Structure 1
Amino acid sequence: MKITEAKVIVCSPGRNFVTLKITTDEGVYGVGDATLNGREKAVVSYLEDYLCPSLIGRDPQQIEDIWHFFYRGAYWRRGPVGMSAIAAIDTALWDIKAKVANMPLYQLLGGRSRDRIMVYTHANGNDIESTLEQVAKYVEKGYKAVRVQCGIPGIASTYGVPKGGKAYEPADADLPSESVWSTEKYLNHIPKLFAAVREQFGDDLHLLHDVHHRLTPIEAARLGKESEPFHLFWLEDCVPAENQEGWKLVRQHTTTPLAVGEVFNSIHDCRELIQSQSIDYIRSTVVHAGGITHLRRIADLAALYHVKTGFHGATDLSPICMGAALHFDYWVPNFGIQEHMPHTEQMLEVFPHHFEFSDGFFTPGEAPGHGVDIDEKLADKYPYKRACLPVNRLEDGTLWHW
């Protein structure tokens, strides 16, 4: 079996997605997600100009060798563009291998370790009251875990809170928009949200929150400590992770579980965090952390240090990535939870899928491969439109973490 074509498909059924389709001389094909939110075309160029030509004629079943060929062979290792491109190739090759074996991907990985996959979704509101209304809506749908975000008094816009009643989409403009942030206002207000959720919904609901890298370690330690009475499932991305030592300081001051990793690209981004047991959940994704091949190494390392998976799963990843992640979740022994920000019906029509949701849990389906495809004719109806992520400034104008 040989690879005869590697095709990049860019479409925008409500938001931009980059898909790689690899076809073999036996007619079997696989698809992988290569979406890098706000920088999609950079991955497209890397694939089309450098990686795809080198795929032609290779045996698609040599997944490990192909992964190292592109990782080591580039010399310029890691980084979000390169690792997203490798991930797309890797995911498509695993899709092919599972189809050739005539089994769902999770079986090829080693079989399932659980009966169903718990997911959490996002409840966002302009204020505490509207956030509580969203929580109630998702609890009614059966979700056992909900991430809560709300507007902060005195701040015009807040991460995670949608505008105009629409679903939240961070890439909101052709060129980066700017928002304003106040750490003090945020720290003074957000524990009130946690208290309100617990008062209305009790202790059984799993409660999560995303800080989005906006605090210093000592500020994050304060928030973690003040959150302890509300026993969060996790506090996500409380500080930037470039300085992994900072997480040790947070850990020293709070027992609130900590999660990080959606912006990580390799095992080296999280190795110290895992080995020092500074975190409880690793959130790296199939598409941004080098695909299934590399993510298995991250998960195996994490398991040695009592760290569980909690993969990123917002709509800045295509349904292909969600399908691959669910197969991984079904298999991985140290599973924790899976993020689920529902794709729109328009998106799901472009990406036919076999995964199913019921009462707060997902199953990936039994179709050979990872169970997600792309309707190319329908995708052609939704051309790419540039959309950039915002930037963030403090109230005095200082550029800050977004």
Structure 2
Amino acid sequence: MRIADVKVIVTSPGRNFVTVKITTEDGTTGVGDATLNGRELAVSAYLTEHLLPLLIGRDAHRIEDTWQYLYRGAYWRRGPVTMTAIAGVDTALWDIKAKAAGLPLYQLLGGRSRERVLVYGHAQGATIDETVAEVGRFLDRGYRAVRAQSAVPGTQGTYGIGSDGDRYEPASAGLPEETIWSTPEYLDHAPELFAAVREKHGFGFHLMHDMHHRLTPIEAARLGKAAEPYRLFWLEDPTTAEDQSAFRLIRQHTTTPIATGEVFNSIYDCRQLITERLIDYIRTSVTHAGGITHLRRILSLAELYGVRSGSHGATDLSPVCLAAALHVDTAIPNFGIQEYMPHTPATDRVFPHDYRFRDGFLYPGEEPGLGVDIDENAAAEYPYEPAYLPVARLHDGSMHDW
């Protein structure tokens, strides 16, 4: 099956998505997500100018060889733009291979390890009381795991707080929004949030919280220790991970499980975290970690050290990525949990799919391939719209990690 055509489709049904669509000589098509939030056109250009000309005429079945060709053959390796571009191609080729076999993708990954995939939703509020009430609404809808975020007094633009109860879309038109952050207020506020949620809703569900890389290791250790009575499923992204050894300090001071990795794009970004058991959940995604081929390497390494998956699955990634993630989640032995935000109706129209949500779980589709496609006519109705993620400053005006 030779590749006859490759195209890059950029569409914005509420937010920007980049999709790779590959067509073989016999007319079989495959799709892959290549969305990098806030840098979408960089990936689109990398694909169009550098990767697509290399693919025409290649054997679509030689997925591993194509991955190595695009990664090792480029000399300039890794990085979010490169790995997201490779992911789009890789995922589309897996889609084609599964369609050619007449099987849902998870069957080619070893078959089912589970019948359904546990997911978590996102409760948010301008106050602790609002967040507690929102957690209750998620539980009423059948969720068994909920991430709780609340605006922090003394700050402006707290991460995780948006206008939509189901979705958090921080990117906005124009130049980046400048928000104000205060770590001392946050460290006092977060344990109060955890206490209020547990007092109202008890311990019969998984509770998680995202720190979004904003703390130093010792600050994260302090929060992890304060959170221990509330039995969190995880604390996410406690500190920036450029220095993986920084997580040792957190580990020494708390038994609260730690999750990180949504910004990672290769196995080298998390090798030390995994092999030294400095984290409990690895959050790399199909789209940002070089596709299904490379994500499987990361998750196989994690399996050896008792680290489970918790792949990023917010709506900054398209239904193509979520479908691919569900097939991987279904097959791997060390699955932990899957992030899930429902996409907008417009996005679902552009990306028709057959995965479904029920009672706190997602079920991958049974159609051959990924079970998702892109409606190019619908996509054309939503042209690209420039958007930036916010930035954060402290009260004195200093830049801080957003």
* Alignment check: 8 A CA contact 2:166 2:341 kept: no
Write the mapping of 1:72-221 to structure 2, written as runs, cut at 5 A: 72-163=72-163, 167-221=167-221
The one-letter amino acid paired with 2:306 is: H
The one-letter amino acid paired with 1:202 is: G
The answer to whether structure 1 residue 359 and structure 2 residue 359 are counterparts is: yes
* Alignment check: 8 A CA contact 2:98 2:368 kept: yes
Q: Secondary structure of the residue that 1:226 maps to in structure 2? A: helix
The answer to whether structure 1 residue 284 and structure 2 residue 273 are counterparts is: no
CA shift for structure 1 position 167: 4.1
Structure 2: runs of 5+ lacking an equivalent: none
Write the mapping of 1:2-401 to structure 2, written as runs, cut at 5 A: 2-163=2-163, 167-401=167-401
Pick closer, same or farther for the CA change 1:285–1:386 going to 2, 3 Å: same
The separation in 1 between residues aligned to 2:18 and 2:285, in whole angstroms, is 15
The separation in 2 between residues aligned to 1:165 and 1:63, in whole angstroms, is 39
Structure 1: runs of 5+ lacking an equivalent: none
Q: Secondary structure of the residue that 1:75 maps to in structure 2? A: coil
* Alignment check: 8 A CA contact 1:105 1:368 kept: yes
* Alignment check: 8 A CA contact 1:173 1:389 kept: no
The separation in 1 between residues aligned to 2:332 and 2:393, in whole angstroms, is 39
TM-score by length of 2: 0.99
The separation in 1 between residues aligned to 2:164 and 2:34, in whole angstroms, is 29
The separation in 2 between residues aligned to 1:49 and 1:144, in whole angstroms, is 45
The separation in 1 between residues aligned to 2:70 and 2:16, in whole angstroms, is 25
Q: Secondary structure of the residue that 1:224 maps to in structure 2? A: helix
The one-letter amino acid paired with 1:18 is: V
The separation in 2 between residues aligned to 1:11 and 1:217, in whole angstroms, is 39
The one-letter amino acid paired with 2:220 is: A
The one-letter amino acid paired with 1:302 is: A
The one-letter amino acid paired with 1:243 is: D
The one-letter amino acid paired with 2:121 is: T
Q: Secondary structure of the residue that 1:262 maps to in structure 2? A: coil
The separation in 2 between residues aligned to 1:66 and 1:166, in whole angstroms, is 38
CA shift for structure 1 position 101: 0.2
CA shift for structure 1 position 212: 0.2
The separation in 2 between residues aligned to 1:366 and 1:319, in whole angstroms, is 15
The separation in 2 between residues aligned to 1:321 and 1:165, in whole angstroms, is 22
The separation in 1 between residues aligned to 2:130 and 2:45, in whole angstroms, is 42
The separation in 1 between residues aligned to 2:330 and 2:365, in whole angstroms, is 10
* Alignment check: 8 A CA contact 2:90 2:292 kept: yes
The one-letter amino acid paired with 2:391 is: V
Q: Secondary structure of the residue that 2:32 maps to in structure 1? A: strand
For the aligned residue pairs, the C-alpha RMSD in angstroms reads: 0.9
CA shift for structure 1 position 153: 1.0
The separation in 1 between residues aligned to 2:164 and 2:91, in whole angstroms, is 36
Q: Secondary structure of the residue that 2:389 maps to in structure 1? A: coil
The separation in 2 between residues aligned to 1:360 and 1:13, in whole angstroms, is 26
The separation in 2 between residues aligned to 1:9 and 1:369, in whole angstroms, is 19
- What are the superposed Cα offsets for residues 70-94 of structure 1, whole Å, 9 maximum, x if unpaired? 0011111000000000000000000
- What are the superposed Cα offsets for residues 167-208 of structure 1, whole Å, 9 maximum, x if unpaired? 421112322111010000000111000001101111111000
Pick closer, same or farther for the CA change 1:389–1:120 going to 2, 3 Å: same
- What are the superposed Cα offsets for residues 80-117 of structure 1, whole Å, 9 maximum, x if unpaired? 00000000000000000000000000001000100110
- What are the superposed Cα offsets for residues 353-393 of structure 1, whole Å, 9 maximum, x if unpaired? 01011000011010000111000000000000000111111
CA shift for structure 1 position 156: 2.2
Percent identity of the aligned residues? 64
* Alignment check: 8 A CA contact 1:264 1:289 kept: yes
The separation in 2 between residues aligned to 1:148 and 1:234, in whole angstroms, is 11
* Alignment check: 8 A CA contact 2:234 2:258 kept: yes
The one-letter amino acid paired with 2:348 is: L
The separation in 1 between residues aligned to 2:165 and 2:325, in whole angstroms, is 29
The separation in 1 between residues aligned to 2:279 and 2:396, in whole angstroms, is 32
CA shift for structure 1 position 346: 1.1
TM-score by length of 1: 0.99
CA shift for structure 1 position 142: 0.2
The one-letter amino acid paired with 1:270 is: C
The separation in 2 between residues aligned to 1:339 and 1:327, in whole angstroms, is 14
Deviates more, 1:228-237 or 1:149-158: 149-158
- What are the superposed Cα offsets for residues 108-130 of structure 1, whole Å, 9 maximum, x if unpaired? 10001001100001001001111
Q: Secondary structure of the residue that 1:384 maps to in structure 2? A: coil
The separation in 2 between residues aligned to 1:179 and 1:235, in whole angstroms, is 22
Aligned length: 402
Deviates more, 1:262-271 or 1:147-156: 147-156
The one-letter amino acid paired with 1:260 is: T
Pick closer, same or farther for the CA change 1:178–1:144 going to 2, 3 Å: same
* Alignment check: 8 A CA contact 2:209 2:234 kept: yes
The one-letter amino acid paired with 2:68 is: H
